[in-house]
Amino acid sequence: MKTVVLTGMMGSGKTTVGSSLAVYFHLQFFDIDKIIEEKEQMSISKIFELYSEDYFRRLEKDTIKNIFKSSDTIISLGGGAFEDEETRQFLNENSTVIYLQTSAETILQRLKDDKTRPLLCDNMSLEKIQNLIDIREKNYETASHIITTDNKKPLEIIREIIGVLL
Ligand code: S3P
């Protein structure tokens, strides 16, 4: 099966959905943020704090390049990875990209007590999240499939994705 890549905002459910899809299809699962944290022996927040966002973005881009295989894997990206043009074009050409589309209201609800997202934890507001969606949406929308996630349980989302993949 062609590799499936999940993209979308923080809190859209990429990791939950991706790991379940991997179990369902008996495929290997890669969570890019987790791979970076394990390799650097540091949380994403610490990488942002000690180095910089730019440094993290380079790690993110290299990690995607290094682990990518064109078949039989499910990859969950960090929410900002699809902003890099080269990464986006490469993944769109070589995998099935699924955008998990989630409203700012739902993201705020899900992440309001979360302290692990450096881009939001200083100022977790609806405006900040909406602003980030507005900047990123056009890139997310280049994905092969768009699946809305508001008011859906993970199982419903997983079923929907299985439906578009089979
Ligand atoms: C980011 C999303 C995070 C993580 C980092 C930056 C972003 O991943 O890569 O905090 O720019 O949206 P998740 O989307 O898995 O939370």
133 CB within 6 A, ligand 1: no
* Per-position pLDDT tens, the chain of length 166: 999 999 999 999 999 999 999 999 999 999 999 999 999 999 999 999 999 999 999 999 999 999 999 999 999 999 999 999 999 999 999 999 999 999 999 999 999 989 899 998 877 899 999 999 999 999 999 999 999 999 999 999 999 999 999 9
Q: What is the pTM of this model?
A: 0.97
The Cα–Cα gap between 5 and 144 comes to 10
Question: Comparing C-alpha atoms, which of 103, 108, 98 is closest to residue 158?
Answer: 98
CB-based contact 100:7 (threshold 8 Å): yes
Integer angstrom CA distances of residue 70 from 28, 42, 89, 90: 12, 28, 14, 11
Q: Whose CA is nearest to atom 16 of ligand 1?
A: 10
Distance 44 CA to ligand 1 centre (A): 8
Q: Whose CA is nearest to atom 11 of ligand 1?
A: 80
Distance 140 CA to ligand 1 centre (A): 14
